[in-house]
Structure 1
Amino acid sequence: MRSILIVGAGQSGLQLALALQARGYDITLMSNRTPEEMRSGRVQSTQCLFPTALRHERELGLDFWADRAPRIEGLGVSVAGPADLPGGGHRRLLDWVGRFDGCAQSVDPRLKMAGWLDTFADRGGRLVIHGATVSDLDFLVRRYDLVLVAAGKGELAELFGRDAGRSPYTVPQRAFAVACVHGLGPRPEHPGFEAVRRNLVPGVGELLVVPTLTLSGRADVLFWAGVPGGPLDVFQDLRSPGEHLALTLELLERFTPWEYARATAVELTDAGATLAGRYVPTVRHPVGRLPSGGLVLGVADAVVADDPVAGQGANAAAKCAASYLESITERGALPFDEEWMTGAFARHWERARHATRWTNAMLAPAGAHVMELMGAAAGHPPVADRFVRGFDDPSDFEDYFYDPERTAAYVAGVVAESGAGATAAGSAEPPGGRAAGGA
């Protein structure tokens, strides 16, 4: 039985630990928190898993909350215009919604990771509660066939050198602020339709609204991602969760009044339901060399840390765990040497690179061709659906998103096809809830 040490108890570390455990590997998992500490602690991340990542969990039998978490059928996009409303508020220029091919779901990581950690221990896994250091790994690496580092922050992340050719940014591109709330009302123009809402305020940042399941039941995540130094970059010196929520709502009223209208009765889900921070999106080299010469392999955001603005983090982590699972099991009894480590990461990167490229593009100011695409989505559901399904499979953006000529050709083709259909069958309204306007 091959022995593997996994350091880190997030989406990738736990998913991989439970999958390998089920396949008969001798797994030791190191976590810096107990399940009880996770449940009672502060939010440290958020996630919304799209259909592919959910399928990986379902195939492993780890979708414990599938019947309780909201079924998210689509994603809506709103674009704010200038501050021309009374009091300096912003009006919506665009508002539409597209549908996933399948459903997405969000579960509070405090609930999910604690549950998975309990499951790993209940199934006989060796669980070590300890914040691992480089010196710890330098001692332990000799005792295992493979050591995987699935901790994306702190000292261990520094084992993996920055890949400058794949990391265009050297400073944070967004300052993020999260509040998990009860009491958010539905979007009146889309009743009964659960969707992630992505609100773009050009030059200022984004507001994501995500239906979720938290420790106390159904809730919503209000996630501001602000351009550093701008009007959303104001959460770092707050003294309490109450101040955090009050500021969140103040910014909603100013920049996204259509979202504020359904948030007037919200309250935090618990005392640990807020988070603020920033980090530099970075791709690192996958193999870390310890002082003694031992090698460790980086997993998920330990080596590919995308900005959260496009919601790819947990999805990329789930896909990384699935890819590494196959690379490990295919290796059989052969050594997990540096060549294998490099190859295992290259296999994962072949897909992960698309999420990284798209996320980095979303951090830049939207070009005219992107706004043309967003406008076309408001009137043509196939465009809206294709864009939204790219959150699940960002490789599709290669065909039409990045190049203005390809974007124009794609939009023209959809418009022409739509016109031909209208000529043949008469004009038709788009499916209900696809587009809306107003403030």
Structure 2
Amino acid sequence: MRKILVVGAGQSGLQLALGLQSHGYEVTLMSNRTADEIRTGRVMSTQCMFPTALQHERDLKLNFWESQAPKIKGLGVSVAVPGSHDPGPAQRAIDWVGRLDGHAQSVDQRVKMAGWMEAFAQRGGQLVIHGAAVGDLDYFSRTYDLVLVAAGKGELVQMFGRDAARSPYSEPQRALAVAYVHGLGPRPEHPEFDAVRCNLVPGVGELFVMPTLTTSGRADILFWEGIPGGPLDVFKDVKDPAAHLSLTLELMERFVPWEYARATRVELTDAGGTLAGRYAPTVRHPVGRLPGGGLVLGVADVVVANDPITGQGSNSAAKCAASYLASILDHGDKEFDGDWMRATFDRYWETARHVTKWTNAMLAPPPEHVLNLIGAAGQLPPVADRFAGGFDDPADFENFFYEPRLTEDYLSEVSAAAGA
């Protein structure tokens, strides 16, 4: 029986630990918090998982909350007319919703990670509650066949050097502010189904609104992404949750009044329902070398940390865990050496590179052909649906998004089919 240590109890670490456990590996999981501390603590993220990522959870029978979480069946895009304050449709230059093939879901990581951690322990896994340092891993690496680092923050990340060729940004590109709320009203245009709403405010930033399941049941996430130094970059020193929500709503009223119109009665889900921060999107080299010479393999956002503007964090974490699990199973009883670690990451990078390329493109001001594409989606439902589908399979953007000629050819083809 092979012994594997997983450090970090997020989406990727827990999914990988539970997957390995189900295949008979002897797995130790290190977390710096207990399940109860996670469940009663502050929100850790936003998350919306699309069909492919959800299927990875189903494959491992980890979809514990699928019947309870809202089924998200669409993805909407609105673009504000600069300087407008009317909640009516005239104040949106673009406003449409694409339908997903299948459904997406969001489960508050406090709910999911606490539940998965308890399942791991109940199934006989060794759970160690301890904040790991490099020195700890140096010791453990001598007693485990493989050490996987899935803790995306703190000193452990520093073991993995920045891959400059794959990391065009050295500074944060957005200031992030999250509030989990109860009491948000439905979008009047499509009250019959749940959708993630992406509201783009040119030159200012974005507001995302997504239905979720939290510790107190159905809720919605209000998520501002502000261009640093701009009017949304005002949450840094706000420590009081009520003040954070008040500021969130004030900015909604100013920049996205159509969303504010359904938020006039919201309240925070709990005192831990807010979060603010920023980080530079970074791809890192996947293999870390310990002081004693041992090697460790970085997992998910330890090695590929994208900005959340495209909602890919939990999806990428699930896809990374599934890819690494397959690589470990395929390797049998051979040594997990540096060459294997790099090959394992390269296999995942074939998926992750599309996410990184798309996310970095969305952080920059959109070129004319992309504006044309987003605009055309309002008149051509197949375009809206395909754009929404890209959140599940970002590789598809290669076929119609980046190159002006491909975009023009695609729009001509859809227009011709619509007129036939």
- TM > 0.5 between the two? yes
**Partners of 2:90 and 2:324 in 1: CA distance:** 45
Task: Write out per-residue CA displacement over residues 93-128 of structure 1, whole angstroms, 9 at most, x where no aligned residue.
Answer: 111000111100000000000000000000010000
**CA shift for structure 1 position 46:** 1.8
Equivalent position of 1:341 in the other structure? 341
Alignment partner of 1:24 is 2:15: no
Matches within 5 A, 1:215-254: 215-254=215-254
Equivalent position of 1:173 in the other structure? 173
Equivalent position of 2:351 in the other structure? 351
Equivalent position of 1:262 in the other structure? 262
**CA shift for structure 1 position 91:** 1.9
Which residue type is aligned with residue 179 of structure 1?
A: A
Which residue type is aligned with residue 299 of structure 1?
A: V
Equivalent position of 2:5 in the other structure? 5
The answer as to whether partners of 1:206 and 1:226 remain within 8 angstroms in 2 is: yes
**Partners of 1:386 and 1:90 in 2: CA distance:** 25
Q: Count matched residues.
A: 419
Equivalent position of 2:302 in the other structure? 302
Alignment partner of 1:210 is 2:210: yes
The answer as to whether partners of 1:90 and 1:255 remain within 8 angstroms in 2 is: no
The answer as to whether partners of 1:176 and 1:224 remain within 8 angstroms in 2 is: yes
The answer as to whether partners of 1:162 and 1:283 remain within 8 angstroms in 2 is: yes
Which residue type is aligned with residue 237 of structure 1?
A: D
**CA shift for structure 1 position 417:** 1.1
Which residue type is aligned with residue 305 of structure 2?
A: A
Relative to structure 1, the CA distance from residue 90 to residue 254 in structure 2 (aligned partners, 3 Å threshold; closer, same or farther) is: farther
**CA shift for structure 1 position 45:** 1.2
**Partners of 2:5 and 2:327 in 1: CA distance:** 16
**CA shift for structure 1 position 180:** 0.1
**CA shift for structure 1 position 85:** 3.7
Equivalent position of 1:389 in the other structure? 389
Gaps of 5+ in 1: 421-439
Which residue type is aligned with residue 408 of structure 1?
A: E
Which residue type is aligned with residue 405 of structure 2?
A: E
Task: Write out per-residue CA displacement over residues 42-95 of structure 1, whole angstroms, 9 at most, x where no aligned residue.
Answer: 0111211000000000110000000000000010000001104479x9921111
**Partners of 1:239 and 1:301 in 2: CA distance:** 26
The answer as to whether partners of 1:83 and 1:90 remain within 8 angstroms in 2 is: no
Alignment partner of 1:63 is 2:63: yes
The answer as to whether partners of 2:86 and 2:258 remain within 8 angstroms in 1 is: no
Helix, strand or coil: the match of 1:407? helix
Equivalent position of 1:431 in the other structure? none
Which residue type is aligned with residue 148 of structure 1?
A: L
Which residue type is aligned with residue 116 of structure 1?
A: W
The answer as to whether partners of 2:84 and 2:255 remain within 8 angstroms in 1 is: no
Task: Write out per-residue CA displacement over residues 105-159 of structure 1, whole angstroms, 9 at most, x where no aligned residue.
Answer: 0000000000000000000100000000001001110000000000111100011
Helix, strand or coil: the match of 1:98? strand
Which residue type is aligned with residue 23 of structure 1?
A: H
Equivalent position of 2:284 in the other structure? 284
Helix, strand or coil: the match of 1:324? helix
Which residue type is aligned with residue 336 of structure 1?
A: F
Which residue type is aligned with residue 356 of structure 1?
A: T
Gaps of 5+ in 2: none
Which residue type is aligned with residue 187 of structure 2?
A: R
Task: Write out per-residue CA displacement over residues 261-291 of structure 1, whole angstroms, 9 at most, x where no aligned residue.
Answer: 0000000000000000000000000000011
Which residue type is aligned with residue 147 of structure 2?
A: V
The answer as to whether partners of 2:179 and 2:223 remain within 8 angstroms in 1 is: yes
Helix, strand or coil: the match of 2:142? helix
The answer as to whether partners of 1:180 and 1:273 remain within 8 angstroms in 2 is: yes
**Partners of 2:7 and 2:191 in 1: CA distance:** 43
The answer as to whether partners of 1:78 and 1:94 remain within 8 angstroms in 2 is: yes
Equivalent position of 2:113 in the other structure? 113
Equivalent position of 1:201 in the other structure? 201
Equivalent position of 1:429 in the other structure? none
Matches within 5 A, 1:28-177: 28-85=28-85, 91-177=91-177
Which residue type is aligned with residue 353 of structure 2?
A: R
Which residue type is aligned with residue 294 of structure 1?
A: G
Helix, strand or coil: the match of 2:377? helix
Helix, strand or coil: the match of 2:327? helix
**Partners of 2:86 and 2:334 in 1: CA distance:** 69
Task: Write out per-residue CA displacement over residues 223-274 of structure 1, whole angstroms, 9 at most, x where no aligned residue.
Answer: 0000000000000111300000000000000000000000000000000000
**Partners of 2:176 and 2:234 in 1: CA distance:** 10
**Partners of 2:9 and 2:301 in 1: CA distance:** 12
The answer as to whether partners of 1:44 and 1:275 remain within 8 angstroms in 2 is: yes
Question: Which 4+ runs in 1 deviate beyond 6 A?
Answer: none
